[in-house]
Structure 1
Amino acid sequence: MSLLEVTSSVFGWVYFICWSLSFYPQSMLNFSRKSTSGTTVDFPLINCLGFLSYMVSNYAFYYSPLIRAQYASRYHGLTPTVQFNDITFALHGLLLSIITTSQYIFPRAWGFTPSKGNKPSRFILGILFGCIVGVVLVIFIVAGSPERNSPSGGGHAWVWLDAIYAISYVKLIVTLIKYTPQVLVNYRNKSTKGWSILQILLDFTGGVLSIGQQGIDSWLQGDWSGITGNPVKFALGNVSMMYDGVFMVQHYVLYKGADGKGEEREGLLGEEGRDEERRIE
């Protein structure tokens, strides 16, 4: 195994760890505060749909002989750049998103005080149902295509690869819009209190490494269709980093001193950690 192959594997698992850990700070902060105030359910709710679609598409790209054959037919005999850690990450993200969403939808079950962020916006609900309808329509179109099961049908005919792409694009659409409601909430509140900055820092690190891994894999294949053939993975890292930058500016520059940084640190430390900090002070 060459150095670049080792580097790609390391990048893959490190970004998997960073992105996986990024799901915990918000739910932990909500639990420690016994409240979801300052945040909105839109983010974790639409994340459930996004990671469900990401898990399904990655599984198909990685395990389905038919999808891999159709991909190879369309992209010069190459294989998808999806790795096993992509599937693991998607499944983990789905489970944690469901848990976090439950804190907003069933606050009393968690012992929380209900807050304004418990109801999803019409915008997010519209995106959610629109994506589902779009995928169903594409599946019907593919199901009616005579070339749908052809391993070499990756040209102009509709094949199951196109259905998998439609499912994967749901994740891309979700990533493009899922942060917007929280950005607006922070702007209206002139504060990031209740919104975990730690999840953003982990997400930013994961984005850098995800793009790095995909670039290395494409270089090793000698063909950049590793990126053009899997645009969702490439876009995920870029779009996430762009939004992460906005949140970091809000947290550390625009609303500095009005965001409860100490509260997040204490919430993640727990009671013992807070007592220890007080003793040190």
Structure 2
Amino acid sequence: MAASFLSIVSYLFGWIYFLCWSFSFYPQTILNWRRKSTSGTTIDFTAINLLGFSAYFVSNASFLFSSQIRREYALRNHGLTPTVQINDLAFAGHAVVITTVTWSQYAFPGAWGFDKRTKREHGARMTSWIKGIIVGSFVGVAITALIVSASHDKDPENGWAWIDVIYAVGYVKVIITLVKYMPQVIVNYRNQSTRGWSILQMQLDFVGGILSVGQLLIDSYLQGDWSGVTGNPVKLALGNFSMFFDIVFMVQHFYLYRKDRKSYGDLENDPLLGDDARRDGRID
């Protein structure tokens, strides 16, 4: 009875976190569109986010549908199956699509009718260290693939195997999740404002992170083996890293820069009110 109940809870957690995380992509895209500008935000975040979710999609798809990867996972984890769920793949696929749309607002502002940003404006150009992380991610996965290809005795339990390439792809997402928020945190600090940065996306992301980690823990408990957690480090790290930075942004928005937020009424952070507020002269 308890196992059945927990299975239902895991299922609900999975799809609710999918909805929270999926909806979290829209407030920033809509806010940019209503403001006709990406000012106050960084191109770094959306560019590296696109790479991260592409890697996450490949990793999830491999664990779900590749018989070889699933076999190698079982050999390393006491015969168990990966704890990746179909909602994980659905979330990753949706994230790639909507992140591509958001990225286009920064890469092709003229096509969206956005105001042109100056090169001196914080966040208007991609920083060199973010470019380095993008290049380094491709290089790291390529090196791992070469090592596996050169291995004559591919022993999934004790040596190199193709699952290590998928883990390398997954770790790209972990690394990106760890660093992708930093440029925006820095821009908010330099501007002493969160203006232009949608706090709603962070609130939805925070709820999604809690439920994502909760589902992972429940699934591992039901399997009776906590290797379900260690065997899915991407999902575990994704939830925890995201929640940490969500808290940082909420502290910036609601505490550190609340005076600046009050100066423009906080209305531009509500995508449903953006146009009306602008027409009324409450935000510029």
TM-score (norm 2): 0.92
What do the CA deviations read for 1:55-85 (whole angstroms, capped 9, x no partner)? 0010000111110000000011011000001
Tell me the residue number matched to 1:254. Answer: 256
Aligned equivalent of 2:72, options 61, 70, 73: 70
**Pair 1:226 & 2:228 matched:** yes
Distance 1:190 1:272 in 2: 26
Does the Cα contact within 8 Å between 2:16 and 2:208 map onto a contact in 1? yes
**Pair 1:269 & 2:281 matched:** no
Does the Cα contact within 8 Å between 1:29 and 1:196 map onto a contact in 2? yes
Residues 1-281 of structure 1 aligned to structure 2 (within 5 Å): 2-115=4-117, 116=121, 117-148=123-154, 153-259=155-261, 260=264, 261-265=266-270, 267-269=271-273, 271=275
Does the Cα contact within 8 Å between 2:38 and 2:106 map onto a contact in 1? yes
SS of the residue aligned with 2:213?
helix
Does the Cα contact within 8 Å between 1:105 and 1:119 map onto a contact in 2? no
Distance 2:258 2:99 in 1: 28
CA RMSD of aligned residues (A): 1.7
User: How far 1:29 moved relative to its partner?
Assistant: 0.3
SS of the residue aligned with 2:188?
helix
SS of the residue aligned with 1:134?
helix
Percent of aligned pairs with the same residue? 57
User: How far 1:100 moved relative to its partner?
Assistant: 0.7
User: How far 1:264 moved relative to its partner?
Assistant: 2.3
SS of the residue aligned with 1:118?
coil
User: How far 1:274 moved relative to its partner?
Assistant: 8.1
**Which amino acid is 2:59 matched to?**
S
SS of the residue aligned with 2:258?
coil
User: How far 1:144 moved relative to its partner?
Assistant: 1.6
Does the Cα contact within 8 Å between 2:40 and 2:187 map onto a contact in 1? yes
SS of the residue aligned with 1:58?
helix
Distance 2:44 2:276 in 1: 32
Does the Cα contact within 8 Å between 1:26 and 1:195 map onto a contact in 2? yes
User: How far 1:98 moved relative to its partner?
Assistant: 1.0
User: How far 1:270 moved relative to its partner?
Assistant: 5.3
